[in-house]
Structure 1
Amino acid sequence: MEPHVFYARTTDDVTIAYAVVGAGPTLVLLPGVPFSNFLEEWRIPILRGVYERLAVRLQVVQYDGRGTGHSQRDVSDLSLDAMLRDLDAVVGQAGIERFALLGFYNSCTHAIAYAALHPERVTRLVLFGGSSRGWLAMSAPETQALLSLIERDWSVFVECAAHAWMGWSVGEAGRLAADSFRNATTPAVARATFQAASAIDVSDDLAAVTAPTLVLHRTDIEQIPRAVSEELAAALPNGHLRLLAGSSPALFFENTDEVVRAITDFVIEGRPDGRPQRSAVPRNAHGLTARELDVLRLIAQGETNAEIAHRLTLSVNTVERHVANLYRKIDARGRADATAFALRQGIA
């Protein structure tokens, strides 16, 4: 699976790069401005694995915010309204009417503001490492010391940021992360983006957010006090706080399987705490197991047994057994029949 880059145009004539992968309910990953660079993120093995696993059951939309990545670099407006125009342009160009949003750190305020403005479009919110007040996500002394490096030594800054913020250990992943940050934007845009983000306050919008919201917080994270996440979850009408073990400030770099499962289950089934609820298997699914449904979705996306095995971390023999079982259950003679069944049942 590889993301293909498309382009959208905002109402203030800024070009935004985006990609869509997978099938299922839509989850829009808000960009981690000023370091959004989704194509580079796909080069980092652990993130590629995360995106591929999310795409098994979800349609995942990624885009680079203005001034970053493959989006237009020569921009001057980095305000909250500008960031919301980027999101509007992407979902409009992609033809997506309803979707969940995942925001982290600075983009949490973007997610809250958009959900308050468009309650009819936002189905779920997932928030990590942020607050309704932009300054709180940047107020830690360590973060302020790090930000002071932006204009003094850009190279040192991106190396430190890749390890301190994202929690990546020294090695290939850290080098790729630093490269992604370094190539994502310029020091001037980075500084201006952080300045704009620190002034954002969407506290007055919280009461207007009707979408069920999952606030994720790591118990031992140093950058964001637990009280900030608790306050955010409590202020949202349908907010739920879920604690994750560990200390990594990066959402996907610790307890990865748990995090991917929590996000996927919440977006599809509205399960904020991971407790067993009624199965979300589609009606008339002919008794397919959850794993057989995963395989069927990937068959409908045109993937081979070998590709499915790689995606689901299974052996090819195991995938072949799942394929044979699901063919028998749905009376399919081959991949075309299986794909047609998946489309009829709303599985694909």
Structure 2
Amino acid sequence: MEDLRFARTDDGVTLGFQVFGQGPALVWMPSLSNILAQWRIPAVRAAYLGLSKHLTVVLYDGRGTGSSDRRVDLDDLGVDAHLRDLRAVLDHAGLQRATLLGYYHSVATAIAFAAREPERVERLVLFGGAPRMREAMLPAQTQALLSLVEQDWGLFADAAATAWLGWDAAPSGRFTAEAFRTATSAPVAKAWFEAAREIDVTAELARVRAPALVLHRQSAEQIPVEVARRMAAALPDARLVELPGSTPTLFMENPAADLKLVTDFVTHGRVNRPSTAPTTLTPRETDVLRLLAAGDSNTEIARQLGIAVHTVERHLANLYRKIGARGRTDAVAYALRMTEFRHPG
């Protein structure tokens, strides 16, 4: 793990950050973060090290989170505050120009910075957020999770890591939940999310001159793909890549492909779309698809596999996305084309 450095914003907030690797600079901007705890998540650590083979990676904790000042003005957590954080980190790291990786909450901040200070932004990589942050927070699953912030901060961390972000494999799920839990306090998180609902930088999209790579990998219960499509269409120089899979993270479901996609874009501006074939289903998704192709209902599939009906529905949503199916009929047709799902005789 790299040594922690500290930057100070022009309004007096101290921020923890790290710089490591070699090559063009990529600033991985934070949402609710704890960069020290994130190094303990195997997939995240592998992503950091993978990126650092070709890039100079900059990580930082935003105000009120992680190793940065926790005592902050809870009424000042909008986009201007996040811009002050980014500017301070760039200045203290000695970076006049960098590519910004906007991730979830920080997508809007990356867009605003690129529009307001174009001379400092080489390229943009945007994942999981929206210029109008309210759109990224509308899905029912997200609303249900946010309702837990005040009620039970620990439960929110566990649910965000597993049910929402898909980190269901130990030890990744445990370490991810711990990173959430230690990122900040419930009052700061509540203020963060309340401020996020008011962030809207859509008017600044047309002023962004940096080439942008907009990435999307979410199921229908998370951020709808239409949000990413509208954002890419509104940016003057953007490419949208809809990644295969349904886990709403980068560098986990297909880490090698994600790393190559991001690294190629940051270093050379190339966008090579990842191959979607052959489609890789999990063993459980394969079981569900086989029973679906045999004509079983969701209830019958649940009974045969010993799982809940809503779990069957979740597996179906994931495999529909992976194979490009619009529903049961498409999925059955896909299964009938694949030898492994055909019944003998």
Secondary structure of the residue aligned to 1:178 is helix
Secondary structure of the residue aligned to 1:97 is coil
Matched, 1:138 2:137: yes
Equivalent position amino acid for 1:37 in 2: N
Quote the residue 2:71 is aligned against. Answer: 74
1-side partners of 2:194 and 2:217: how far apart? 26
Matched, 1:87 2:124: no
How much has 1:274 moved relative to structure 2?
A: 4.1
Secondary structure of the residue aligned to 1:180 is helix
RMSD: 1.2
Where does 1:27-66 land on structure 2 (aligned, <5 Å)? Answer: 27-32=26-31, 35-66=32-63
1-side partners of 2:171 and 2:247: how far apart? 18
1-side partners of 2:174 and 2:219: how far apart? 25
How much has 1:250 moved relative to structure 2?
A: 1.4
Structure 1 contact 221–248 (Cα < 8 Å) conserved: no
Matched, 1:164 2:159: no
Secondary structure of the residue aligned to 1:216 is strand
How much has 1:220 moved relative to structure 2?
A: 4.0
Quote the residue 1:325 is aligned against. Answer: none
Quote the residue 1:179 is aligned against. Answer: 178
- 1:58-101 deviation line (CA, Å, top 9, x unaligned): 00000000000000000012121111000110110111011000
Quote the residue 1:204 is aligned against. Answer: 203
Quote the residue 2:343 is aligned against. Answer: none
- 1:246-285 deviation line (CA, Å, top 9, x unaligned): 000112221111111100000011012349xxxxxxxxxx
Equivalent position amino acid for 2:260 in 1: R
2-side partners of 1:95 and 1:41: how far apart? 24
2-side partners of 1:164 and 1:111: how far apart? 27
2-side partners of 1:115 and 1:71: how far apart? 24
Structure 1 contact 37–180 (Cα < 8 Å) conserved: yes
Quote the residue 2:212 is aligned against. Answer: 213
* Moved segments of 4+, more than 4 Å: none
Structure 2 contact 25–58 (Cα < 8 Å) conserved: yes
Matched, 1:191 2:190: yes
- Aligned pairs, number: 272
How much has 1:222 moved relative to structure 2?
A: 3.1
How much has 1:221 moved relative to structure 2?
A: 5.2
Cα 1:219–1:42 shift into 2, 3 Å? closer
2-side partners of 1:125 and 1:200: how far apart? 19
How much has 1:3 moved relative to structure 2?
A: 1.4
Equivalent position amino acid for 1:43 in 2: R
Structure 2 contact 218–247 (Cα < 8 Å) conserved: no
Quote the residue 1:226 is aligned against. Answer: 225
Structure 1 contact 221–246 (Cα < 8 Å) conserved: no
Equivalent position amino acid for 1:233 in 2: A
Equivalent position amino acid for 1:16 in 2: L
Matched, 1:115 2:86: no
Where does 1:316-327 land on structure 2 (aligned, <5 Å)? Answer: none
Equivalent position amino acid for 2:46 in 1: G
Quote the residue 1:4 is aligned against. Answer: 3
- The gaps in structure 2 that reach 5 residues or longer are 275-345
Quote the residue 2:306 is aligned against. Answer: none
| Aligned-residue identity in percent | 52
Where does 1:148-163 land on structure 2 (aligned, <5 Å)? Answer: 148-163=147-162
Secondary structure of the residue aligned to 2:148 is coil
2-side partners of 1:97 and 1:10: how far apart? 16
Structure 1 contact 165–250 (Cα < 8 Å) conserved: no
Cα 1:136–1:31 shift into 2, 3 Å? same
Equivalent position amino acid for 2:28 in 1: L
Where does 1:268-283 land on structure 2 (aligned, <5 Å)? Answer: 268-274=267-273
Quote the residue 2:126 is aligned against. Answer: 127
1-side partners of 2:101 and 2:218: how far apart? 20
2-side partners of 1:53 and 1:39: how far apart? 17
Cα 1:219–1:146 shift into 2, 3 Å? closer
Equivalent position amino acid for 2:252 in 1: F
How much has 1:170 moved relative to structure 2?
A: 4.2
Secondary structure of the residue aligned to 1:82 is helix
2-side partners of 1:127 and 1:155: how far apart? 28
Secondary structure of the residue aligned to 2:118 is coil
Quote the residue 1:99 is aligned against. Answer: 98
Secondary structure of the residue aligned to 1:115 is helix
Secondary structure of the residue aligned to 1:150 is helix
Secondary structure of the residue aligned to 2:66 is coil
1-side partners of 2:140 and 2:221: how far apart? 10
1-side partners of 2:246 and 2:220: how far apart? 4
Secondary structure of the residue aligned to 1:67 is coil
